[in-house]
Structures are given as C-alpha cells and as structure tokens.
Amino acid sequence: MDQAFLREVQKRGWVIVAATTEACEARCPVLGCGIRTLLRSGASIPPRITPDLRGGVALEHGAHAIESLRGRRKELRLSVEEVEDAAGVEPSHLAKIENCTKMPNIDTFIWLAAALGYDLVLREGLLPAATLRTLADTRSKEASRAERFAKPARVLKKPPALPPPGPKRG
C-alpha cells in the first residue's frame, strides 16, 4: 500500500483499521458512528461524514417516527415483508405499525430502523420549559423540607428502666 495514500486517508479524517497491499479499511473516528469504508490505492477518498453533515429527522411523536419509517421503506423500494424479514419481526407486524393499529415497543422500533439503514442517536439537548419548571418546583420543595427537618428534634425524657427478668414469686 502506498504510504502517501495512507497519509492522505488519515489527513481526510479517517482512522485506518487495516491495510493490505491492495486496499485499506478505514473507519470514522466519531464514537458510535460505525461508518467503515474499504479504499483501494489511488481511488478517490470520500469525505468523512460528520454528524453535522448527515441528514436527520427530529422525532416529535410516535406517529412521526412511523411516517419516517414508511417514507424510508418506500424510498428504498422495499416491501413490508422484506423489511420485516430483515428486522427479524413477526409477519404483518410492520403492516400493523404502518396502519397505526399497533405501536411498536422501543426494541422493535430500533430493529426496524436499523433494517432501513437508520442510526438512532440520542443527543443531549436543551431541557423543555415544563421540565425546567418541574425541576425548580422540586428543588424548592426539597429546600423547604430540609429547613423544616433541620430544626433540632425534641429530646424525650428517658423512660424508667424495667427491672431485670427473674423468677416469678408468687
């Protein structure tokens, strides 16, 4: 493998995993990205796809997620049965999901999305106003509770000691 070509692959942002005399395997350095490519010496080096360059869909509700799956399936010209087979789900399961007669659990959704070539990524974002209000209310309640219970406890008088058990006299 040509050393100049390998340096160019690295310069373009790829991490070289393996190299032979004919080709090298490279991967994206972003944690969890999973993109790999096989590059032959002298061939064009694709630009590394960063999360900023990828198209994406922000899902707002379950129906939007199902619409995205249906749209992707149709874009790829796959039948419902082909996607079900690739995802390893029961026959007619996807049809029921697409017809909104069944809502998939999270595992099924992930399997279907993966079968359609989607990478599902959870990214931290800004907290919605409702969550911020709940946090503020909870924290203020915790603070007042801490003040209330921080007062010194009343000291109770010690009860008189019981006589030690012994043989009954009678």
Q: Are 17 and 28 in contact, with CB atoms under 8 Å apart?
A: no
Q: What is the pLDDT of residues 99-148, one digit of tens each?
A: 888 888 889 999 999 898 888 777 766 777 888 888 888 887 877 777 76
In terms of domains, do 76 and 34 share one? no
CA distance 65 to 18: 37
On whether residue 170 sits in a domain, the answer given is no
Tokens of 92: 């007619």
Whether 163 maps to a domain, the answer reads no
Domains of the chain: total: 2
Ranked by mean pLDDT, the top range of 23-32, 65-74, 141-150 is 65-74
pLDDT tens by residue, 39-56: 888 788 877 655 554 556
User: How confident is the model at residue 53, as a pLDDT?
Assistant: 45
Locate 95 and state its tokens: 């049809």
CA 30/CA 48 separation, integer angstroms: 10
**What residues make up the domain containing 101?**
62-115
Please enumerate in sequence order all residues whose Cβ is within 8 A of that of 24, keeping only pairs 6 or more positions apart, or say none: 1, 5, 6, 9, 16, 17, 18, 38, 39, 41
Question: What torsion do the CA atoms of 127, 133, 134, 136 make, to the nearest 10 degrees?
Answer: 100
CATH of the domain at 77: 1.10.260.40
